[in-house]
Amino acid sequence: MFRKILIANRGEIALRVIRACRELGIKTVAVHSQADSESLHVRFADEAVCIGPADSKSSYLNIPSIISAAEITDAEAIHPGYGFLSENAHFAEICDSCQIKFIGPTAETIRTMGNKSQARQTMIQAKVPTLPGSEALSDPEEAKRFAHEIGYPVIIKAVAGGGGKGMRVVHTDASFLNAFMTAQAEAAAAFNSSEVYIEKYLEEPKHIEVQVLGDQHGNAVYLGERECSIQRRYQKLIEESPSPVITPESREKIGKVASNAVKALNYWGAGTLEFLYDKGNFYFMEMNTRIQVEHPVTEMVTGIDLIKEQIRIASGEPLGYGQKDIKMNGHSIECRINAEDPVSFLPQPGRITEFNVPGGPWVRVDTAVYNNYTVLPYYDSMIAKLIVWGHDRQEAICRMRRALGEFVIQGVKTTIPFHNRVFNNATFLKGNFSTRFVENFLSSNK
């Protein structure tokens, strides 16, 4: 096991890793920008190193500074959290060349699954169900012919994409060329690559993801699924486990497919296979080779600490359990609390003048915010994750309503009012919503 780990991240995920390390008896090193010098992850780590100015490129994305911080503090491993460098294959390679363990899969695996077109072909070889689609395309006319062949609607996706950037849905030949070139331009600006590919587009699917763990000894398990259909512009807002529509039979079927894919990839660490679910069928969308923001709901229903498992696996330990040992108990829901206007969703940086977190049985709040904390404009607007557990979905919903009512944040606008409305929406309560839920919900509330 490692003696000291550097955490190449900030905010609640950095604090989450520190907590796991403390329980494992591992010393921690926090890195921080000049703007984050008063952050909780800096306060609670055993050591802290400033790695640059406020902007991410000069600090949390500054690989030489992060490696230097690890070397001067004698950190044996680096946990990247999510976002920033967590799926950066070059960073993983640099860690390896400096004999610092990257807590995640190999650089080769990150690179393969980060290229969406290559990931798709890899999953086809692993017998994972996929939608009709193309390889990387650069010629607009060739792309248009392919779209016509598989039939509209189609979705154009950036090969190096993520977070909804470089994506366009097209319903007709007439609008295809403009959408294709727009997607290319957006992909080039966001990912320094204009490569895109095309897939058949499902109008109202569910977004279901499967949490997997693989070790360095060829073992793999799946830890159930998460329902992630409540999203806006491809950004998730509410997640739950299990999904209200997935049967035990479907769960076992897609779980086995996911764990077999992990074995085929020789994948180790925590990972998530994301699927579109439509009319009883699953279709591979992408794989995230890191811990997910919404990992707490899986922890709540399985009792497995995913961050500790990442660390143990990276240190070379076997999983120590098999699929038959994984038991799902009850229902968990997570709300992402963002410092955003609850109607326009525009970011709302500023100083928090009053802060009270909910408590009581089976309520968890992951946050690095405190009273008089300043929400900075340089980083993601998520300031807390509110997670609840119940014996069933109905109890979890009632507990979430109660917890949202206790959550007090003054000084900046947050998305708490939005969540309050959702948890009183009849469609949400029935569980029969799709990825179009928020779009339709917001339209009906204007």
Decide yes or no: CATH 3.30.70.250 for domain 4-103: no
Q: Compute the distance between CA of residue 34 and CA of residue 43 in angstroms, rounded to an integer.
A: 14
Q: Which residue has the higher pLDDT, 160 or 12?
A: 12
Confirm if 102 and 311 have CB atoms less than 8 A apart: no
What percent of the chain has a predicted confidence (pLDDT) above 90? 94
Using the predicted structure, report yes or no on whether residue 37 has a pLDDT greater than 90.
yes
Residue in 168, 251, 290, 336 annotated catalytic: 290
Q: What is the mean pLDDT of residues 292-314?
A: 98
Q: Is 436 a catalytic residue?
A: no
Q: Alpha helix (H) ranges present in 88-151?
A: 89-97, 107-114, 116-125, 140-150
Domain with CATH 3.30.1490.20 in the chain: 132-200
Residue range 91-109: average pLDDT?
98
Q: What is the mean pLDDT of residues 150-170?
A: 90
pLDDT at 393: 98
Give the per-residue pLDDT at 161.
Answer: 78
- Binned at pLDDT 50, 70 and 90, residue 446 comes out as low
162-212 pLDDT per residue, tens: 777 889 999 999 999 999 999 999 999 989 899 999 999 999 999 999 999
Question: What CATH architecture does domain 132-200 belong to?
Answer: 2-Layer Sandwich (3.30)
pLDDT one-digit tens code per residue, 337-390: 999 999 999 999 999 999 999 999 999 999 999 999 999 999 999 999 999 999
**DSSP code of 161?**
-
* Domain range 206-444, CATH class: alpha beta
- Min mean pLDDT across 79-93, 150-164, 242-256 is at 150-164
Taking residues 67-82, what's their average pLDDT?
Answer: 98
Q: Where, residue-wise, is CATH 3.40.50.20 in the chain?
A: 4-103
**Region 256-284: what's the mean pLDDT?**
96
- Are 78 and 70 in contact by the 8 Å Cβ rule? The answer is yes
CA distances from 53 to 57, 121, 372 (A): 9, 40, 22
Portions of the chain given CATH number 3.30.470.20: 206-444
Coil, strand or helix at 96: helix
